Amino acid sequence: MADSRRVALEADLHVHSTVSDGTEAPARLLEQAAAAGLAAIALTDHDSTAGWADAAAAVPATGVALIPGMELSTRQGWTSVHLLGYLVDPDDEALVAETAHIRESRLARAETIVRRISRDYTLTWDDVLAHSAEGATIGRPHIADALVARGHAVDRSAAFEGILHPSRGYAEPHYAPDPLTGVRLIREAGGVPVLAHPGTRGAERVLPEATIGALVAAGLFGLEVDHPENRADALPRLRALAERHGLAVTGSSDYHGSGKPNRLGQCRTAAEVVARIVAEGRGSAPVLP
């Protein structure tokens, strides 16, 4: 059910919790958002809506509005492309089935990666489990934390640049649908799809304008232009693409707690754009203080 109240608040629309690869519990993120002076955040865990209830419970005490969302994994060839889906119906059958498939593949893939690493370094699957919350969407960051705990890397970023780097031969991709299927899944679940961090090198390479045009035709709402990891020299092209295709421009931090240098509220989305997302989202409603 869409909320009939108009929500026009500046917001950080891309935040991760322990339900995926963030280091903070969902409710804790709302406390941190209040401390950062944010009026609203979107919870966008990878391929999961499991943190929504915990986050929603913290809305009254913190006074921070919650826009429920997720970051859906998709893949174009070998390159991962992330789609933010705001206000989806968390019970939509197709979305539930697809995200379950992705999470299962993530788990099997992580076990494979750990098995490969364990031939050369001291690392066990139990190490990874010790660094992930029960039921969490597993990703390379959890393996990175286990590598850090074993002393094989100084922090997550170093693990990504070292043992987990594709060139080292341990990592491999997980199953994910293509971006066009992802946009359709989000729209059919009543959600509002935004292309996450489209200005990273890989995303730019696999998303020529014709592909963006096809995503727009399928219902893409916007581009996450303002994101800490978008390359500065990609921004003019992204702004021009948004202009030509009538896409909204969002800004978000992609905060992962202490797992990444990104700071909560570092990039934000204009109140007017948040209002349009809320007006278009039909699968679920924002949770207001």
Give residue number: closest CB to ligand AMP: 139
Instruction: Measure the CA–CA gap between 202 and 227, rounded to whole angstroms.
Output: 15
The sheet that has 65-76: what strands, in order across it?
11-15, 40-46, 65-76, 79-86, 192-195, 222-226, 248-251
Instruction: List alpha helices for 17-123, DSSP H.
Output: 26-35, 52-57, 59-62, 93-118
| Contacts of 236-241 spanning 24+ positions with Cβ under 8 A | 237/204, 238/198, 238/199, 241/209, 241/212
In the set 192, 254, 260, 274, which binds Zn ion (CB under 5 A)?
254
Number of residues that bind ligand AMP (CB under 6 A): 12
Binding string, 100-119, against ligand AMP, x = CB under 6 A?
Answer: --------------------
Instruction: Report if residue 89 touches ligand AMP, rule: CB under 6 A.
Output: no
Pairing state of beta strands 65-76 and 79-86? antiparallel
Work out which of 14, 75, 131, 140 binds ligand AMP, going by CB under 6 A. Answer: 140
Q: Which stretch binds ligand AMP (CB under 6 A): 27-35, 135-143, 183-191, 231-239?
A: 135-143
In 10 A of CB 61, how many CB atoms?
A: 12
Among residues 122 and 258, whose Cβ is nearest to Zn ion? 258
**Is residue 47 a contact residue for Zn ion (CB under 5 A)?**
no
Is 160 one of the binding residues for ligand AMP (CB under 6 A)? yes
Decide if residue 21 touches ligand AMP (CB under 6 A).
yes
Residue 22 CA to residue 18 CA, distance in Å, equals 5
User: What is the distance between the alpha carbons of residues 107 and 139, in angstroms, rounded to a whole number?
Assistant: 8
Closest to ligand AMP by CB, 105 vs 118, is 105
Q: Which CB atom, from 93 or from 178, has the smaller least distance to ligand AMP?
A: 178
Among 76, 79, 80, 266, binds ligand AMP (CB under 6 A): 80
Number of helices (H), then strands (E), belonging to the chain: the values are 12, 7
Beta strands (DSSP E) in the chain are 11-15, 40-46, 65-76, 79-86, 192-195, 222-226, 248-251
Select the span of 56-64, 178-186, 189-197, 265-273 touching Fe ion (CB under 5 A).
Answer: 189-197
* Of 72, 71, 16, residue with least CA distance to 41: 16
DSSP reduced 3-state for 225 = strand
Tell me how far, at minimum, the Cβ of 8 lies from Fe ion, in Å.
26
Taking residue 57's Cβ as centre, other Cβ atoms within 10 Å add up to 14
89 or 254, CB closer to Zn ion?
254
Q: Is 197 in the site for ligand AMP (CB under 6 A)?
A: no
At its nearest, how many Å lie between ligand AMP and the CB of residue 59? 25
75 binds ligand AMP (CB under 6 A): no
Task: By CB under 6 A, tell whether 92 contacts ligand AMP.
Answer: no
Q: Which of 134-142, 182-190, 209-217, 235-243 is the region at the interface with ligand AMP (rule: CB under 6 A)? A: 134-142
Q: Is 45 near Zn ion (CB under 5 A)? A: no
Q: Which residues lie near ligand AMP (CB under 6 A)? A: 21, 46, 80, 139-141, 156-157, 160, 256, 259-260
